């Protein structure tokens, strides 16, 4: 008998549960791996179980640590006998000559070059090689480097986020604020439904009606701890009215739903009024995409943290990415946190120390060191002509994180905490580095761009109900645009959201979708996807748990004649190694 807790975590047919439990015992796969498989191969069925097993085996082999090549050390000729036959006064050493010559040539590289190495300390590694992992249009030539300065401005209507207090928000206040968004959307969704069904009257959630009617509300799951499926979809009205009705979508040909989604439906109430039989489902408002101006162009590089692997505090990967930026000189460089990952083993165990030293370091010292590295790496970019525009966004995974979403800019978050140690942070501000809130909505050369360091895709995919089954990732990206928000899921995912300022999560262009949407996600299949004239960029993370990761480099060419977004965009995923 399959474990009930396992069945609640991984939504699969009953006939698959026993085999699923066996595979989970063998491979201990996570929900992310399960969702990644379904995103690529569709929902799990008995016929897909061998394919799922092969996928898990491949993932296990990929994650397995490689055995280091052990080479025997050279020994002095004659071994101990040679040492005994030395001339009087002659110095002896047990270290081979070749090893001594190699040590003489090798210089410690990285953050602490001028710091003497402590006994037993590990020297920082040399900068890493950068190569192209994948490209969505390798046949598209890179445009020549522009000599014109980049025009950057905040999106009109975007909310400016500063430091704020948030712990005193009550559950009732959060529900009331979510109801305000529901009320703002009611007229828009109902008018769209009346276009689709002009002769159907508008009803109210919780009020039975035997004739065909239009209902409006928010999708919820019938069970508090269960996952959404086509038999557990509820439609709820405002929390004040506390009204809900179960949606029977058996006769609905097309549906794309997730918890928290604001929708409109057409159908009839059942005999008892507790069920509403749906014949038409509107998953959100129509996407109002806007094509980029023909003359618009851009060269951008996007790097997302963590910038060190989980078991160490070595920021060589960040240094290598900045060195690559100095060579390529993009018009815009976007750095997404976490800069110091809260889940780093050294941080969690209180054993943080800077690379090249065994002395313990507090978190303030690590951040001071990080900002010093950023200043050194960004100075050549800001001094170039034209200068590279640099954006820095914080993360919910930051070791020193005082705010939920939306987060104020990182300089505001850390300046008072670092106090007198914030010299390099102030120098970054003076250099013209832009510290943005998370999320941020900006216009670069007239291109509308939304950016966040949080994963906006997984919360939609995790419990999405889709019919007919198709490309779940593209459908999920469409739902983000139709809900006109980066994080529309309710209950909130991520959970850290301050409802008073939740409008900062919405796209601010009066119903027009962004032309570029940037966020890291473990689901790499979304990288470079174009949905309704919106380009989605997933740079990956620079460092994964036990391996090096990737970053993204983007080129947008001016239009030549009639061309679509796909014809103008080249997106390269770069890897370190």
How many Å apart are CA 528 and CA 545, to the nearest integer?
Answer: 24
Residue 294 or 507, more confident: 507
pLDDT given for residue 413 in this prediction: 83
> Per-residue confidence at 527, pLDDT binned at 50, 70, 90?
confident
CA-to-CA separations, 517 to 215, 396, 486, 527, in angstroms, rounded: 31, 19, 9, 11
Average pLDDT over residues 297-308: 94
How many Å apart are CA 269 and CA 212, to the nearest integer?
Answer: 8
Considering 69-83, 113-127, 479-493, the range whose residues carry the highest mean pLDDT is 479-493
User: Which residues does 191 contact at the CB level (< 8 Å), separation at least 6?
Assistant: none
21-30, 47-56, 68-77: which range is least confident on average? 68-77
How many Å apart are CA 297 and CA 558, to the nearest integer?
Answer: 5
> Per-residue confidence at 125, pLDDT binned at 50, 70, 90?
low
> Over the stretch 172-190, which tens digit does the pLDDT of each residue have?
999 999 999 999 999 999 9
Average pLDDT over residues 1-9: 64
> Per-residue confidence at 71, pLDDT binned at 50, 70, 90?
very low
CA-to-CA separations, 304 to 9, 34, 168, 518, in angstroms, rounded: 29, 24, 31, 10
Domains 136-165+289-454+494-576 and 171-282 share a fold: no
- Domain range summary for the chain, segments of one domain joined by +: 4-56, 136-165+289-454+494-576, 171-282
Residue 449 or 494, more confident: 449
Helix (H, G, I), strand (E, B) or coil at 534: strand
E-only strand ranges, 67-161: 130-135, 152-154
Q: Taking 80 as the threshold, does the pLDDT of residue 533 lie above it?
A: yes
Write out the DSSP string of 461-502: HHT-EEES---HHHHHHHHHHHHTBS---SS-SSS-B-GGGG
Q: What is the H or E stretch that residue 28 is in?
A: none
- pLDDT above 70 coverage of the chain, percent: 86
pLDDT given for residue 127 in this prediction: 67
How many Å apart are CA 537 and CA 518, to the nearest integer?
Answer: 5
Under 8 Å between Cβ of 556 and 569: yes
194-198, 258-262, 434-438, 469-473: which range is least confident on average? 469-473
Question: Do the bridges between strand 152-154 and strand 233-236 make them parallel or antiparallel, or are there none, so unpaired?
Answer: unpaired
Q: Taking 50 as the threshold, does the pLDDT of residue 493 lie above it?
A: yes
Q: Taking 70 as the threshold, does the pLDDT of residue 70 lie above it?
A: no
> Which two tokens mark 86?
């030395």
Residue of 196, 192, 221 lying closest to 465 (CA atoms)? 221
Sign of the CA dihedral with 52 first, then 55, 56, and 57 last: positive
CA-to-CA separations, 7 to 20, 28, 229, 511, in angstroms, rounded: 9, 14, 13, 39
pLDDT given for residue 69 in this prediction: 44
Among 3.60.21.60, 2.70.160.11, 3.30.70.980, 1.10.150.20, what is the CATH number of 136-165+289-454+494-576?
3.60.21.60
- Per the prediction, the chain carries an average pLDDT of 83
> Which two tokens mark 457?
């895709």
User: Which residues does 376 contact at the CB level (< 8 Å), separation at least 6?
Assistant: none
pLDDT given for residue 383 in this prediction: 93
Q: Taking 70 as the threshold, does the pLDDT of residue 106 lie above it?
A: no
254-258, 299-303, 362-366, 524-528: which range is least confident on average? 524-528
The number of residues making up the chain comes to 577
Topology of domain 171-282 in CATH is OB fold (Dihydrolipoamide Acetyltransferase, E2P) (2.40.50)
184-193, 262-271, 347-356: which range is least confident on average? 347-356
> Per-residue confidence at 562, pLDDT binned at 50, 70, 90?
low
Q: Taking 70 as the threshold, does the pLDDT of residue 103 lie above it?
A: no
């Amino acid at each position: 008998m399959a474990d009930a807790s396992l069945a609640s975590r991984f939504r699969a047919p009953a006939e698959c549960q026993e085999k699923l439990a066996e595979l989970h015992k063998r491979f201990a796969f996570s929900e992310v791996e399960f969702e990644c498989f379904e995103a690529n191969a569709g929902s799990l069925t008995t016929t897909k179980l061998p394919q799922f097993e092969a996928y898990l085996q491949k993932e296990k082999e990929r994650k397995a640590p490689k055995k280091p090549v052990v080479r025997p050390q050279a020994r002095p000729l004659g071994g101990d006998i040679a040492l005994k036959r030395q001339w009087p006064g002659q110095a002896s050493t047990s270290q081979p000559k070749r090893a001594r010559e190699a040590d003489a040539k090798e210089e410690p590289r990285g953050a602490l070059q001028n710091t003497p190495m402590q006994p037993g300390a590990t020297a920082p590694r040399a900068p890493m090689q950068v190569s192209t992992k994948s490209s969505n249009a390798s046949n598209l030539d890179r445009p020549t480097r522009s000599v014109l300065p980049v025009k950057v401005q905040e999106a009109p209507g975007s909310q400016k986020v500063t430091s704020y207090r948030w712990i005193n928000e009550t559950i009732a206040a959060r529900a009331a604020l979510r109801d305000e968004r529901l009320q703002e959307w009611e007229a828009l969704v109902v008018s769209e439904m009346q276009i689709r069904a002009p002769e159907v009257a508008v009803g109210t959630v919780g009020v039975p009606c035997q004739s065909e009617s239009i209902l409006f509300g928010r999708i919820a799951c019938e069970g508090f701890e269960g996952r959404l499926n086509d038999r557990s979809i509820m439609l709820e009205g405002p929390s004040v009215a506390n009204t809900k009705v179960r949606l029977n979508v058996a006769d609905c040909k097309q549906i794309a739903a997730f918890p928290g989604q604001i929708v409109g439906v057409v159908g009839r109430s059942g005999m008892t009024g507790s069920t509403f039989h749906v014949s038409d489902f509107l998953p959100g408002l129509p996407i109002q995409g806007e094509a980029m101006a023909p003359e618009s162009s851009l060269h951008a590089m996007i790097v997302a943290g963590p910038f060190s692997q989980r078991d160490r505090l070595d920021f060589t990967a960040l240094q290598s990415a900045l060195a690559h930026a100095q060579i390529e000189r993009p018009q815009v460089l976007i750095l997404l946190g976490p800069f110091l990952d809260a889940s780093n083993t050294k941080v969690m165990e209180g054993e943080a120390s800077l690379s090249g030293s065994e002395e313990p370091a507090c978190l303030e010292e690590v951040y001071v060191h990080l900002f010093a590295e950023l200043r050194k790496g960004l100075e050549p970019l800001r001094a170039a002509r034209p200068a590279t525009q640099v954006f820095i966004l914080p993360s919910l995974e930051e070791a020193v994180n005082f705010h939920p979403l939306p987060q104020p800019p990182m300089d505001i978050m850390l300046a008072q905490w670092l106090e007198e140690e914030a010299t390099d942070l102030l120098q970054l501000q003076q250099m013209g580095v832009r510290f943005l809130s998370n999320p941020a909505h900006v216009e670069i050369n007239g291109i509308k761009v939304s950016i966040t360091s949080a994963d906006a895709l997984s919360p939609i995919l995790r419990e999405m109900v889709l019919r007919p089954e198709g490309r779940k990732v593209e459908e999920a990206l469409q739902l983000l645009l139709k809900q006109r928000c980066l994080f529309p899921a309710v209950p909130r995912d991520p959970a850290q959201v301050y409802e008073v300022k939740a409008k900062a999560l919405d796209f601010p262009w009066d119903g027009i979708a962004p032309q570029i949407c940037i966020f890291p996600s473990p689901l790499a299949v979304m990288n470079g996807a174009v949905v309704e004239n919106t380009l989605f960029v997933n740079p990956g993370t620079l460092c994964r748990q036990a391996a090096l990761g990737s970053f993204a480099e983007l080129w947008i060419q001016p239009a030549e004649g009639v061309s679509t977004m796909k014809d103008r965009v080249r997106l390269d995923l770069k890897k370190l190694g």
